[in-house]
Amino acid sequence: MFKKILIANRGEIACRIIRACKELGVKTVAVHSEADKDCMHVKLADQSICIGPASASESYLNIPSIIAAAEISGADAVHPGYGFLAENTYFAEVCEACGLKFIGPSKESIEKMGDKIKAIELMKKSGVPVVPGSDGPVNPDDSKIFQLAKKIGYPVIIKATAGGGGKGMRIAKNDDELKNAVTMAQTEAKAAFGNEEVYIEKYIEEPHHIEFQILGDKFGNVAYLPERDCSIQRRHQKLVEESPSPFINEKLRKIMGKAARKAAMAVKYVTAGTVEFLVDKKGKFYFMEMNTRIQVEHPVTEIITGIDLVKEQIKLAAGQRLSVHSDKIKIRGHAIECRINAEDPDKDFIPSPGVIGKLFLPGGPGIRIDSHVYSGYEIPPYYDSLIAKIIALGADRQETVLRMARALGEVEIENIKNTSSLHSKIMANEAFQKGGVSTDFLQKHIFKD
């Protein structure tokens, strides 16, 4: 096992990783920007090092600073969390070259799954179903895009090869919209990822986003865990996640789980990752992408399986043998996670940074809170707006929805506009309560006026 892990991240996920390390008896080093000196992850770690000014490019994305901090502190491994450098092959390579274990898959696995076009190609070869599409990058000035869209059938979606966080995506319903949609997607992709390459895919109507957590060891063993349904999204970004999915049955769970395992095996996947699928109305499923890191929504899987994914991830990175077997996992009830963001849902979700006054986060039976905020904490304007995750576990879906609604009602974050009221509306919605809604739920049922 590692002796000291440097956590190259901030906020709730840094706190989550530090907690796992403590339970494993591993020392921790927090890194932070000048703006984050009072953040909870700095307080929880055994040691902390400032790595630069507030802007992420000068701190949490600053590879030389992070590596220097690891060397100074004598860390033997680096945990990247999610976002920032988590899926950066260069960072993984530099860590390994400096004798630091990167807690994630190999740089080759990240590379193969990082480029969405290449990943789709590989999945096709491996026998994992994919969405019909352009099989390569497209260009708005090439008239072939019209033939291609005709062959695929409208509507189509234009997506960024380097995509993430729902950015760089455009839908086109006909030839008139296509050229402009490709141009817009390219512009957005260039701004968000510094890479304007985009491709075309069939737009699956009323889809369900269903993903599988994967764990793999260096001996080639891969387990899939019960699925997460992440169909409640705003602008292609997840808001609520639950497990098990109210949309799929035991039979489909097994088939999709095995496809997810196949996808992971195709890249010799080690540690924790997620294979994402879209499922159409008829239950036909398609590979969308693989995220080669721990995800925001991992706690729903943890609480219904009783498996600590972050500890498993660290143990697998340390070279231990996989101790989880897909067929032996028991689903213990139903779990839902709500992401509480410091954003104003009444003002088009504009960020709401500032100093938190009184703070009360819910508790009671079956409630877990993953957060880094406290009363008097100043939410900086520089990073993503996630301030807390509320995760509820109940005996069944109905109890969990009622439990989450009860917990949301307890939330008090003085001075900070946040999304808890939106989540309360979702929990109270009849269609949501019935279960099995698709990714257009918010437009159809919550923002319909």
Residues of this chain that interact with ligand ADP (CB under 6 A) are: 131, 157, 163-167, 201-204, 207, 209, 233, 236, 276, 278, 288-289, 439
* Residue partners of 93: CB distance under 8 A and separation at least 6: 107
Nearer to ligand ADP by Cβ, of 28 and 341: the residue is 341
Q: 431: helix, coil or strand?
A: helix
The angle that helices 107-114 and 89-97 make with each other, rounded to 10 degrees, is 170
Amino acid sitting at position 152 = I
Q: What is the dihedral of CA 416, 46, 98, 319, to 10 degrees?
A: -100
Residue 332: active-site member: no
The distance of closest approach from Cβ of residue 209 to ligand ADP in the complex, given in angstroms and rounded to an integer, is 4
Residue the block writes with tokens 């891969």: 222
Q: Quick check: 356 and 379 in contact, CB under 8 A? A: yes
Q: How far is the CB of 38 from ligand ADP (least distance, A)?
A: 31
How far apart are CB 414 and ligand ADP at their closest, in Å? 32
Catalytic residue among 234, 293, 368, 403: 293
Quote the tokens at residue 387.
């301030």
The one-letter amino acid at 88: N
Q: How far is the CB of 365 from ligand ADP (least distance, A)?
A: 31
User: Which of these, 240, 189, 267, lies nearest to 446 by C-alpha position?
Assistant: 240
Smallest distance from ligand ADP to CB 360, Å: 32
CB 311, min distance to ligand ADP, A: 26
Tally of CB atoms within 10 A around 27: 18
Is 4 or 82 the residue whose CB approaches ligand ADP more closely? Answer: 82
- The nearer residue to ligand ADP, 48 or 274, going by C-beta atoms, is 274
Q: CA–CA distance from 335 to each of 118, 312, 446 (Å)? A: 34, 20, 22
Q: Which is nearer to ligand ADP, 73 or 301 (CB)?
A: 301
Which class for 248: exposed (0-12), middle (13-18), buried (19 or more C-beta within 10 A)? buried
- 382 residue type, one letter: Y
CA distance 39 to 45: 11
Rounded-to-integer distance, Cα 42 and Cα 56, Å:
16
C-alpha 46: how far from its chain's center? 27
Backbone angles phi, psi at 326, to 5 degrees: -50, -45
Least distance to ligand ADP, CB of residue 289, Å: 5
- Contacts with 312 (C-beta within 8 Å, 6 or more apart), sequence order: 215, 272, 323, 324
C-beta closer to ligand ADP: residue 193 or 354: 193
Structural contact between residues 408 and 393, judged by C-beta atoms closer than 8 angstroms: no
DSSP state of 93: H
| Residues acting as catalytic residues | 293
